[in-house]
A = this chain, B = another copy of it.
Amino acid sequence: MAGSFFKRRVLTLLDYKTEKFIVAKNKKVGLLYRLIQLSIIGYIIGWVFVSKKGYQETDEAIQSSVITKLKGVALTNTSESGLQVWGPEDYVIPPQGEAVLFVVTNFLETPHQKLGYCAETPRVLSGHCRDDKDCEKGKMVVAGHGIMSGRCLGSDKNSTGSCEIYGWCPVERTFKPKRPTLTNAQNFTIYIKNFIKFPKFQFSKSNVLETTDDSYLKKCRYDEELHPYCPIFFLGDITRRAGYNFQDMDTLGGSIGVMIEWDCDLDKDYSNCNPQYHFTRLDISGSNKTIAKGFNFRHTRYFKNAAGESYRSLFKVYGVQFNIMVHGKAGKFSIVPTAINIASGLALMGAGTVFCDMVLLYLMKEGTAYRERKFEGSADNSAECKKEQAPLAALG
Q: In residues 137-193 of chain A, which contact B (Cβ within 8 Å)?
A: 140-141, 143-147, 166-168, 184, 193
Please choose the segment from A222-230, A233-241, A353-361 that sits at the chain B interface, where 4 or more of its residues have CB less than 8 A away.
Answer: A353-361
A133 surroundings in chain B (CB, below 8 A): none
Could you tell me if A34 and B392 are in contact, using CB atoms closer than 8 angstroms?
yes
Say which size band chain A's interface belongs to: 35 or more
The residue from B25, B31, B88, B282 contacting A380, defined by CB atoms under 8 A apart: B25
| CA of A287 to CA of B304, assembled, Å | 48
Please give me the residue from chain B that is nearest to A290 by CB atom: B210
Could you give, for residues 334-367 of chain A, a 1 whenever the CB lies within 8 Å of some chain B CB and a 0 otherwise? 0010001011111111111111110010000000
Could you tell me if A18 and B22 are in contact, using CB atoms closer than 8 angstroms?
yes
The residue from B112, B291, B381 contacting A206, defined by CB atoms under 8 A apart: B291
The residue from B47, B208, B286, B370 contacting A18, defined by CB atoms under 8 A apart: B370
Q: Is A378 an interface residue (CB 8 A)?
A: yes
Q: Is A200 an interface residue (CB 8 A)?
A: no
**Copies of the polypeptide in the assembly:** 3
| CA of A370 to CA of B201, assembled, Å | 47
Q: Is A80 an interface residue (CB 8 A)?
A: no
A388 surroundings in chain B (CB, below 8 A): 8-9, 12
A10 to chain B, nearest CB (A): 9
Could you tell me if B376 and A22 are in contact, using CB atoms closer than 8 angstroms?
yes
A18 surroundings in chain B (CB, below 8 A): 21-22, 24, 353, 356-357, 360, 370, 374
| CA of A136 to CA of B69, assembled, Å | 27
A47 surroundings in chain B (CB, below 8 A): 336
A277 to chain B, nearest CB (A): 13
Q: Is A276 an interface residue (CB 8 A)?
A: no
Q: Is A45 an interface residue (CB 8 A)?
A: no
A282 with B89, Cβ < 8 A, contacts A12-B385, A23-B381 known: no
A346 surroundings in chain B (CB, below 8 A): 350-351, 354-355, 395
What are some 13 contacts across the A-B interface (CB < 8 A)? A14-B34, A16-B26, A20-B21, A22-B377, A63-B257, A65-B283, A73-B144, A75-B147, A83-B115, A195-B284, A210-B287, A302-B303, A349-B354
Chain A interfacial positions (CB closer than 8 Å to B): 8-9, 11-27, 29-31, 33-34, 37, 40, 43, 47, 61, 63-65, 67, 69, 71-73, 75, 83-85, 87-90, 93-98, 100, 102, 112, 115, 140-141, 143-147, 166-168, 184, 193, 195-197, 199, 203-206, 208, 210, 217-218, 255, 257, 259, 270, 278, 280, 282-288, 291-292, 295, 297-306, 308, 314, 321, 323, 325, 327, 336, 340, 342-357, 360, 370, 373-378, 380-381, 385-386, 388-390, 392-393, 395-396
